Amino acid sequence: MGIRIGILTAGGDCPGLNAVIRGVAKAAYHTMKDVEFIGIQDGFGGLIRGEYKTLNQSDFSGILTIGGTILGTSRTPFKLMQVVEDDNVDKLKCMKDNYKKMGLDCLLILGGNGSHKTAGLLADEGLNIIGLPKTIDNDIFGTDVTFGFHSAVDVATDCIDKLHTTASSHGRCMVMEVMGNKAGWLTLYSGIAGGADVILLPEIPYDMKKIIAKIKERGKRSKDFSIIAVAEGAMSTEEATMKKKAREKLRAESGNAVFKITKAIEAETNFTARPCIPGHIQRGGIPSAYDRLLSTRFGAYAAELILKKNFGVTVAMVDNVVVANELSEVAGKTKFVPEHHQLIEIGRSLGISFGD
């Protein structure tokens, strides 16, 4: 009797998803007898609706360098997974029923924090689940790195590089928003790599006076431009004291950090400032060589876990060794940038301001 493996990709797309799918399949075909893959379409939505297709070996060929996901993806918030909405669909029951209808021996879930919480829920319900940590935010607990992160760092760094030439040519302050609502890994890495003068992270509330002081100090040293890398979720010291709803209301009225900072610079200095939001460009494109390697390692290890029938876990990288963490121990936890992370200390030693 063969092994029937389901695969789905959930949440936002990122480079490396297809490379993981390929890594799992190639390793499984090589190490297992009579293996079959079922591709579940458009994330958990496809699992809820029972939308899937049988994948052939040819489907896994030539996808190593392709960005996005051949299976499609969608967002289904974890907080709604056990809520019956107006459509009267019991999502959890549908997922369990369709898992059985597909005749799956296990299900691989490629996703970020929210997807891992749903993966943990399904594992608790008795399904054979293996998670694979995907996110450009690099904020999944228990793994040193997630696939998609380094590709996004390359893109965000390239954006900062390009801003340098315009900023220096026109003598402007360029304020660039980098993806990352809760954790600032992407902003920290790309900010350091791109030579930003100010780096603002969600983990370190900023004082606008400190940012203005940094820009003026650069001006005194004949530096007539500055690059400010701002994480989506960066917040001022005032916002940090607010509850979430109050903070969201304030932002709806006055705009996100990147716009507020741009306005403040123009109001309080002699510099012209411009906002820049690369947005979803940061999560698109082909995976970097690093992410291709990482994704292939993760995929091959997932196949090994299937062979060993080690379920209820998620793949992780710890000290450059691929391991498996219990879903129950990592799902629902966010990996934040530590206040005294070495890169932050290095940045401070280079004169970079973190707004505090």
Query: What tens-digit pLDDT sequence spans the chain (356 residues)?
Result: 689 999 999 999 999 999 999 999 999 999 999 999 999 999 999 999 999 999 999 999 999 999 999 999 998 888 888 888 888 999 999 999 999 999 999 999 999 999 999 999 999 999 999 999 999 999 999 999 999 999 999 999 999 999 999 999 998 999 999 999 999 999 999 999 999 999 999 999 999 999 999 999 998 898 889 999 999 999 999 888 888 888 888 877 777 899 999 999 999 998 999 999 999 999 999 999 999 999 999 999 999 999 999 999 999 999 999 999 999 999 989 999 999 999 999 999 999 999 99
The answer to whether 322 and 301 are in contact (CB under 8 A) is yes
Domain boundary, last residue among 283, 308, 339: 283
> What CATH code is carried by the domain that includes residue 102?
3.40.50.450
Q: Are residues 144 and 27 in the same domain?
A: yes
pLDDT score at 1: 62
Q: How far is CA 220 from CA 168, 213, 268, in A?
A: 15, 11, 15
Q: Are residues 279 and 180 in the same domain?
A: yes
Q: Does residue 171 form part of some domain?
A: yes
Spacing of C-alpha 344 from chain mean position? 20
pLDDT score at 129: 98
Q: Are residues 233 and 297 in the same domain?
A: no
Q: Are residues 32 and 133 in the same domain?
A: yes
For 107, the token pair is 């299900």
Quick count: other Cβ atoms within 10 Å of Cβ 69?
A: 24
Q: Are residues 137 and 160 in the same domain?
A: no
In sequence order, the 6+-apart residues with CB closer than 8 A to the CB of 55 are: 7, 25, 37, 38, 39
* DSSP secondary structure string for all residues of 276-289: E--GGGGG-SPPPH
Q: Does residue 319 form part of some domain?
A: yes
Q: Does residue 352 form part of some domain?
A: no
pLDDT score at 159: 96
pLDDT score at 139: 96
- Full domain range(s) for residue 177: 150-283
Q: Are residues 156 and 221 in the same domain?
A: yes
Q: Are residues 27 and 135 in the same domain?
A: yes
Domain boundary, last residue among 222, 257, 283: 283
Q: Are residues 93 and 63 in the same domain?
A: yes
Q: Does residue 209 form part of some domain?
A: yes
Q: Are residues 30 and 159 in the same domain?
A: no
Domain boundary, last residue among 218, 250, 283: 283
Name the residue among 62, 30, 23 with its Cα closest to residue 297.
23
Q: Are residues 293 and 279 in the same domain?
A: no
* DSSP secondary structure string for all residues of 65-78: T--S-TT------G
- Report the helix count and the strand count for the chain, using DSSP H and E: 13, 11
> What CATH code is carried by the domain that includes residue 228?
3.40.50.460
Q: Does residue 27 form part of some domain?
A: yes
Q: How far is CA 29 from CA 14, 267, 307, 336, in A?
A: 25, 62, 11, 37
Known catalytic residue at 137: yes
Q: Does residue 44 form part of some domain?
A: yes
Q: Which of 34, 86, 124, 137 is catalytic?
A: 137
Q: Are residues 130 and 233 in the same domain?
A: no
In sequence order, the 6+-apart residues with CB closer than 8 A to the CB of 247 are: 235, 239
Q: Are residues 84 and 217 in the same domain?
A: no
Total structural domains within the chain = 2
pTM over 0.95: no
Output DSSP code: residue 338.
P
